[in-house]
Amino acid sequence: MAGCWQLYGKENAEILADSLMLPNQFKCAMKNVRVCEEVHVNGDNVHVGIHVPEYSIPAHGKDINFTFGVEHVQSLPFGKQGKGTVQKESDNKWVAKMAHDDKTCTITREIRNGEMWVTIEGQDIKTVRKFERCTENCGGGSAAQCHKDGASPFQGNWRLYGSDNFEKFMEHLGVPAHWRCIFSNMCVRESIHVNGNDVHVKIHLPEVHVAPHTHEYSFKFGEPHEISLPFGHHATAAPKKVSETKWQSTLTNSAKLGDAQLTREIVGDEMWMTLDVKGKHVVYKFARRPCGEAAAQSCKKTC
């Protein structure tokens, strides 16, 4: 459990927020926030530091300290106080029984395939929060621990964590509602390898398989290439390197998109991918993710 973790996916989060009768602005914040946790373990004593980069959620316990088998009190969101005990069932599974007001819940932390899943159950509601190891110290610093000196800023592994204008953009393209729902919750990951003017992009779609979709493609700056799009659509892309931190591709010959512009740009430690079509645009926001098991283990030791 020890190390730095970043939230990348949630199940039933909105149902839980509704049951807690949270204000709409906080439900929106909780839906989009990139929560990071830093877990320190010293024997039976545990410290959990919670970092919320984008938003400040009032009266939230940013630090949790407890000892296995000993009752403790911790702050919960929105001014609530919880009391409970954490039992260590194994090195890979901790179970907490918490109570606040007249309600009780069970919080289970479990390591699954190198990820940390936090399951909250109570009042006939179950929500799962999925974390992957950070490539950074959660409290700050560069996210590019896997990014070697001298390499392209785009080089490395990326995970989609949010988007702007997604729903309206997909509706504008005529994408059916059920596919919009799937796409909005999909954990898209990209691996980019750059060698001079040659670029290779590999796309991972863990939850669903959308066919026929380009999962892997290569291109060279200044040379047009064909690219497959979801739902059997194709386009010709003409990639251009505007700068070391900005790439642009003009997409043509697509019956669905018409002429479109695809821009990848490094913003801080993130990669933003903007697609402009007929005056409408969507921005996909990616954060760096671990470069495989070796990097995850390295991060674990560092943190």
The full DSSP string for the chain is --EEEEEEEEESHHHHHHHTT--HHHHHHHHH---EEEEEEETTEEEEEEE-SS---TT--SEEEEETTS-EEEE-GGG-EEEEEEEEEETTEEEEEEEETTEEEEEEEEEETTEEEEEEEETTEEEEEEEEE-SS-TTSS-S-TTS-TTS-TT-EEEEEEEEESHHHHHHHTT--HHHHHHHHT---EEEEEEETTEEEEEEE-SS---SS--SEEEEETTS-EEEE-GGG-EEEEEEEEEETTEEEEEEEEETTTEEEEEEEEEETTEEEEEEEETTEEEEEEEEE---SHHHHHHHHHH-
120, pLDDT greater than 90: no
The correct answer on CATH 2.10.109.10 for the domain covering 156-288 is no
The mean per-residue pLDDT over the stretch 43-62 comes to 65
Query: Phi first, then psi: what are they for 298, rounded to 5°?
Result: -65, -45
Please tell me the pTM assigned to this model. 0.48
Fold classification of 3-133 is Lipocalin (2.40.128)
Q: Is the dihedral of CA 64, 117, 32, 214 positive or negative?
A: positive
Overall average pLDDT of the 39-46 stretch: 92
Domain 3-133 identical in fold to domain 156-288:
yes
Q: Residue 252 — very low, low, confident or very high, per pLDDT cuts 50/70/90?
A: confident
Number of neighbouring beta carbons within 10 Å of residue 211: 10
Confidence of residue 256 (pLDDT cuts 50, 70, 90): low
pLDDT at 171: 72
pLDDT digits over 134-169, tens only? 754 443 333 333 344 457 899 888 888 877 877 777
Domain regions of the chain by residue span: 3-133, 156-288
What pLDDT is attached to residue 229? 67
**Residue 7: predicted pLDDT:** 82
